[in-house]
Amino acid sequence: MKCPTCGSHDTHVIDTVRDPGGNIRRRRVCRACGRRFNTIERVVDSTPLVVKRSGRRESFNRDKILEGIRIACAKRPVAAEDIERLVSQVESRVLAMNKSEVAAREIGDLVLQGLRELDEVAYIRYAIVYLNLKDLESVKREIERLLSER
């Protein structure tokens, strides 16, 4: 593994932890500069194609999910580890479907479900875009629905 600071390939694994999503998190130290850093390894299965609303198909992209969740959680008290955990859960569930194609709607529903448990304001932010809530009345109905489910 290449050190992100000095570029040396002489690194040493200090600790290894396997998370519930199947990822392997390694704590490493560079023997050249002494910098400590983390790496995450995950098994790459054949990823499904995502079928968009328009019918267009594109490869499953974990980073797009991560970016959408980060935007929804911006300036909210949500830890980066919680965001990463949610993305890993969504990715694991999509891969566990074992389908060659998955509707974008199914992925969005998984993200919404996870955000509802993580942070309700982030849930509303994501829902406004994902559910295409166009006016205050539709946003109000979604908030009332969320409050009634508490």
Q: Using an 8 Å Cβ cutoff, are 27 and 14 in contact?
A: yes
pLDDT digits (tens, 9 = 90+) for 29-67: 999 999 999 998 877 667 899 999 899 999 999 999 999
Mean pLDDT score, 94-101: 91
**Distance from C-alpha of 21 to C-alpha of 30, rounded to nearest angstrom:** 27
Instruction: Map out the domains of the chain as residue ranges.
Output: 1-43, 46-148
Candidates 104, 114, 60; CA nearest to 82 is 114
pLDDT digits (tens, 9 = 90+) for 62-80: 999 999 999 999 999 999 9
Q: Which helix (H) or strand (E) holds 93?
A: helix 80-96
Q: Count Cβ atoms within 10 A of the Cβ of residue 20 and give its class: 0-12 exposed, 13-18 middle, 19 or more buried.
A: exposed
Mean pLDDT score, 100-108: 94
Q: Count Cβ atoms within 10 A of the Cβ of residue 149 and give its class: 0-12 exposed, 13-18 middle, 19 or more buried.
A: exposed
In the predicted structure, residue 84 carries a pLDDT above the cut 80: yes
> Whole-number mean pLDDT of the chain?
92
Q: What is the identity of the amino acid at 70?
A: R
In the predicted structure, residue 115 carries a pLDDT above the cut 90: yes
In the predicted structure, residue 17 carries a pLDDT above the cut 80: yes
In the predicted structure, residue 20 carries a pLDDT above the cut 90: no
